[in-house]
């Protein structure tokens, strides 16, 4: 706080802190009391942040009073702390539906969201720095402040209860998604991520009605048409019924941090023969290892949200975070250089159709160290990719058909999620077609008489047969060159990589 209030932006930070403090006082967030014998007041601190617009310009200066929750004691200061967070695949499905059905989509931001919920526990907090009254008293919290371990849970229960009070039904597959259908409002969807709320409906009047209802209960800001969500910019083409999700600013910031902005970009994120790449010496410098982990973590966020084209590369690099080698650093640099040349690329969602279909693949015994295979799968809704995975399989497969069978078991779990979710959000719950490029694996899935050849495979992967019998899934043969899930299993040539990248919906 001292640094912020002694710099050139001090007036902005002081005004932001005053606004936060006055808001907390107006909401009766605490009462000043003497701390009882045997209890200790938990410290707090000020956190300052510049809120940015999608173009990187400063929207406003924000101060947040945060209690140091790591001082809390289990069973005394808190009990349950779990709060659901929306899945990334649900976010992409939500925007796919918005685009395909041409829904009106607006956003609201709840102000001081965590403070809206009432605490059940008795918690004392030290008075905020800069606003002490020098009486030795402490703040007995009435409201749930940021930093408390149970704060997300308290807010989620408060928000969910009110949305359901408005008549919405909470989705059984993802508790952050709500749906309503009435003659007056029509079809309405609400997607929540903590204090960021997306509201989509067939009519603008319906969106306005729901926004007014929520903002009348929880003070917040009407952001209008959705333009930005979870570090992703949202661009829409209503004529094509598409939405483009982009993390350009986030990628450019990562590139700038590592002084690669002026470097020559590369056309693919990883060389084709990466497994033959000499590992080189293991890096032992703690600072370098920490930087490696930091970059891989940032890349995972990008790969899991809008850039499935780097999913395999990041998954491969994440396997070596404990002991990265010189080769790992070189390959990490390649991924950054690739992003440097494709930072403006977006993930395209939507299209005129909203049907679900998928692809699965594996790279048999691709890991030269463990001889484990790599699973890759892709689930699409219309034109866009809404779910994908690239990961090393937990067991060693004895044949390529077994590796493909295990990959099919993985996509079966994801398909089950979407099969359950589809009817709850207005989609037809029909048999989902999955493309597979291994006929032997397809036979293992469809033909139970081959059980003798699969008795050593863990039972967790056999549920794929049940999905096929129930006609929830149908596997169809697809040529390897036309299987986009191949991009999640191994490095590809430039021509094949660009072909599959376009199929994924990653476009300039």
Q: What is the pLDDT along the chain (508 residues), one digit of tens a residue?
A: 777 778 888 889 999 999 999 999 998 999 999 999 888 999 999 999 988 776 778 888 999 999 999 999 888 888 888 888 899 999 999 999 999 999 999 999 998 888 888 888 899 999 999 899 989 899 999 998 999 999 999 999 999 999 999 999 998 888 999 999 988 898 999 999 989 999 999 999 999 999 999 999 999 999 999 999 988 999 999 999 999 999 999 999 999 999 898 889 999 999 888 777 777 788 889 999 999 999 999 999 999 999 999 999 999 999 999 999 999 999 999 999 999 999 999 999 998 888 889 999 999 888 777 889 999 999 999 889 999 999 999 888 888 888 998 899 899 989 888 888 877 777 776 788 999 998 888 888 887 655 555 555 655 566 788 888 888 889 999 999 999 999 999 999 999 999 999 999 999 9
pLDDT given at position 389: 96
The count of domains in the chain is: 3
Which residues 6+ apart lie within 8 Å of 335 measured at CB? 269, 270, 299, 310, 313, 314, 317
Last residue of a domain, one of 285, 310, 342: 342
The reply to whether 347 falls in a domain is no
CATH number, residue 456: 3.30.420.10
Strands 58-67 and 44-52, by their bridges, are antiparallel
Q: Please report which helix (H) or strand (E) contains residue 21, including its range.
A: helix 10-26
How many residues appear in the chain? 508
Together in a domain, 82 and 217: yes
CA distance 138 to 124: 6
Q: Please report which helix (H) or strand (E) contains residue 371, including its range.
A: none
Q: Please report which helix (H) or strand (E) contains residue 156, including its range.
A: helix 151-165
Structure tokens at 480: 């390897």
Together in a domain, 281 and 415: no
The reply to whether 211 falls in a domain is yes
CA distance 241 to 49: 36
Query: CA angle, corner 442, sides to 441 and 448, nearest 5?
Result: 90
Helices (H), 307-462: 311-318, 326-342, 400-421, 439-446
Q: Which whole-number Å values give the CA distances from 37 to 40, 44, 119, 123, 274, in the listed order?
A: 8, 20, 21, 13, 64
Structure tokens at 434: 């999955």
Together in a domain, 284 and 369: no
CA distance 410 to 497: 23
φ, ψ for residue 148, nearest 5 deg = -65, 140
Last residue of a domain, one of 179, 205, 230: 230
Together in a domain, 436 and 417: yes
Choose among 90, 77, 49, 38: nearest CA to 421. Answer: 90
List pLDDT tens digits, range 45-59.
999 998 877 677 888
User: How many C-beta atoms surround the C-beta of residue 104 within 10 A?
Assistant: 19
Together in a domain, 267 and 204: no
Together in a domain, 156 and 179: yes
Structure tokens at 129: 């720095």
CA distance 215 to 315: 41
In eight-state DSSP terms, residue 380 is E
Together in a domain, 373 and 310: no
CA distance 329 to 281: 11
Considering the entire predicted model, what is its pTM? 0.88
Together in a domain, 165 and 46: yes
Choose among 266, 271, 250, 257: nearest CA to 340. Answer: 266
pLDDT given at position 366: 81
Helices (H), 273-399: 286-305, 311-318, 326-342
Structure tokens at 488: 């999640």
CA distance 363 to 454: 19
Buried/exposed 109-130: b ≥16 CB within 10 Å, e otherwise: ebbbbbbbbebeeebbbbbbee
CA distance 46 to 67: 9
The reply to whether 481 falls in a domain is yes
List pLDDT tens digits, range 338-347.
999 999 999 9
The reply to whether 122 falls in a domain is yes
Together in a domain, 315 and 403: no
Last residue of a domain, one of 230, 257, 288: 230
The reply to whether 156 falls in a domain is yes
Q: Measured in whole angstroms, how far is the alpha carbon of residue 233 from the centre of its chain? A: 14
The reply to whether 238 falls in a domain is no
The strand pairing partners of 282, in sequence order, are 325
Which domain does 310 fall in, by range?
Answer: 246-342
Together in a domain, 204 and 265: no
In eight-state DSSP terms, residue 117 is S
Together in a domain, 83 and 179: yes
The strand pairing partners of 334, in sequence order, are none
CA distance 432 to 488: 20
Structure tokens at 491: 């490095």
The reply to whether 187 falls in a domain is yes
The reply to whether 348 falls in a domain is no
Together in a domain, 202 and 271: no
pLDDT given at position 54: 66
pLDDT given at position 206: 95
Are the C-beta atoms of 232 and 306 separated by less than 8 Å? yes
Q: Which whole-number Å values give the CA distances from 241 to 194, 347, 349, 351, 402, in the listed order?
A: 28, 14, 9, 5, 40
Q: What share of the chain is helix, strand, coil (3-state, %, to 5)?
A: 40, 25, 35
Which residues 6+ apart lie within 8 Å of 256 measured at CB? none
Are the C-beta atoms of 379 and 455 separated by less than 8 Å? no
pLDDT given at position 453: 57
The strand pairing partners of 228, in sequence order, are 233
């Amino acid at each position: 706080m001292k640094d912020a209030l002694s710099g050139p932006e001090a007036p902005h930070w002081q005004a932001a802190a005053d606004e936060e403090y006055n808001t907390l006082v107006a909401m009766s967030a605490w009462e000043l009391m003497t701390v009882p014998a045997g209890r200790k007041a938990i410290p707090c601190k000020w956190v300052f942040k510049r809120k940015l617009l999608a173009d990187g310009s400063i929207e406003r200066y924000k101060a947040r009073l945060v209690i140091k929750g790591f001082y809390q004691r289990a069973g005394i200061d808190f009990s349950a702390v779990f709060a659901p967070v929306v899945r990334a695949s649900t976010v992409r499905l939500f925007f796919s539906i918005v685009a395909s059905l041409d829904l009106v989509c607006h956003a609201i931001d709840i102000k001081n969201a965590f403070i809206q919920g009432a605490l059940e526990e008795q918690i004392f907090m030290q008075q905020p720095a800069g606003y002490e009254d020098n009486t030795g008293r402490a703040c007995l919290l009435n409201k749930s402040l940021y930093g408390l371990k149970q704060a997300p849970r308290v807010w989620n229960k408060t928000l969910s209860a009110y949305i359901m009070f408005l008549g919405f039904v909470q989705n059984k597959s993802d508790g952050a998604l709500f749906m309503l259908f009435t003659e007056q409002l029509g079809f309405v969807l609400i997607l929540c991520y903590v204090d960021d709320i997306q509201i989509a409906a067939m009519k603008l009047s319906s969106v306005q009605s729901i926004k007014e209802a929520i903002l009348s209960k929880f003070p917040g800001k009407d952001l209008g048409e959705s333009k930005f969500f979870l570090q992703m910019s949202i661009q829409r083409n209503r004529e094509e019924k598409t939405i483009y999700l982009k993390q350009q600013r986030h990628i450019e910031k990562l590139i700038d941090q590592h002084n690669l902005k002026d470097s020559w970009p590369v056309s693919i994120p990883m060389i084709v023969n990466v497994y033959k790449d000499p590992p080189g010496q293991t890096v032992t410098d703690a600072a370098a290892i920490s930087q490696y982990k930091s970059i891989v973590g940032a890349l995972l966020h990008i790969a899991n949200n809008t850039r499935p084209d780097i999913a395999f590369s990041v998954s491969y690099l994440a396997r070596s975070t404990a002991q990265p080698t010189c080769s790992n650093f070189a390959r990490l640099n390649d991924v950054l250089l690739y992003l440097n040349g494709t930072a403006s690329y977006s993930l395209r969602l939507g299209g005129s159709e909203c049907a679900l279909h998928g692809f699965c693949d594996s790279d048999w015994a691709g890991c030269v160290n463990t001889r484990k295979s790599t699973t890759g799968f892709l689930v699409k809704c219309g034109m866009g990719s809404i779910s994908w995975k690239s990961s090393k399989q937990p067991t060693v497969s004895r044949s390529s058909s077994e590796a493909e069978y295990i990959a099919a078991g993985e996509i079966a779990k994801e398909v089950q999620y979407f099969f359950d979710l589809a009817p709850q959000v207005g989609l037809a719950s029909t048999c989902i077609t999955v493309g597979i490029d291994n006929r032997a694996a397809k036979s293992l899935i469809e033909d139970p008489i081959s059980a003798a050849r699969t008795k050593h495979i863990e039972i967790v992967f056999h549920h794929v047969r049940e999905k096929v019998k129930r006609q929830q899934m149908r596997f169809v043969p697809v040529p390897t060159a036309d299987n986009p899930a191949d991009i999640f299993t191994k490095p590809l040539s430039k021509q094949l990589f660009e072909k599959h990248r376009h199929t994924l919906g990653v476009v300039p």
